[in-house]
Amino acid sequence: MYTFRKLTKEDAEQYWSLRLEGLKNHPDAFGHSFDDEQQTPIQDVQEGLEGGPDSDEIWLGIFDGEKLFGFGQVKSFELSRESHKAMISGVYVSPDYRGGTGRALMEALIEEAKQLPDVEQVILAVLSGNEAAQSLYESLGFEVYAEDPDSVKLEDGTYRDDIWMKKYV
């Protein structure tokens, strides 16, 4: 049985190891690179997971017992004119656990977004070429509303577009 819970600074090492795994093994699925991120001190990771006292930033993990195997972030927009939106980002599930758990994680993140004050829309970006993720998001009711061509340049010199998707909640 898998469980969900908000990540804390105590989860930092497990989370960071899994994040670096995703960046290294799936470089075409993320805007950040393994090379950029691997130098981040664990204290910075702990602070990022902890958030501030007024933070509407939530890192949600999915666990098999005590083992973290997937995570994602949901954060509301801070400006008053954008406070009706929340963004889901940084979603990753270890390949050994794929096959339904990504959907469960996304559903849990959407539920977290619904609990944030004033949120009416959830947005996310997916890199072109990541058809599995885009298909999952579409099956959850997200629709493409914009595309940013050549938004990310990979280490091999190829480009990926940011495909922006939205769901009303």
Q: Distance (Å, rounded) from C-alpha 10 to C-alpha 59?
A: 13
pTM of the model: 0.92
Does the pLDDT value for residue 52 go beyond 60? Answer: no
Whole-angstrom distance, CA of residue 55 vs CA of residue 36: 25
The domain locations on the chain are 2-122
Give me the residues paired with residue 152 across strands: 160
- Give pLDDT tens digits for 106-149: 999 999 999 999 999 999 999 999 999 999 999 999 999 999 99
CATH superfamily for 2-122 is Gcn5-related N-acetyltransferase (GNAT) (3.40.630.30)
Burial class (CB in 10 A: 0-12, 13-18, 19+), 140: middle
Question: What are the Cα distances from residue 97, in Å, to 81, 92, 105, 114, 159?
Answer: 39, 11, 11, 26, 28
CA atoms within 13 A on the CB side of 160: 21
Q: What percent of the chain has pLDDT over 70?
A: 97
High-pLDDT (> 90) share of the chain, %:
79
The residue to which tokens 């690179």 are assigned: 33
> Average pLDDT of the chain?
93
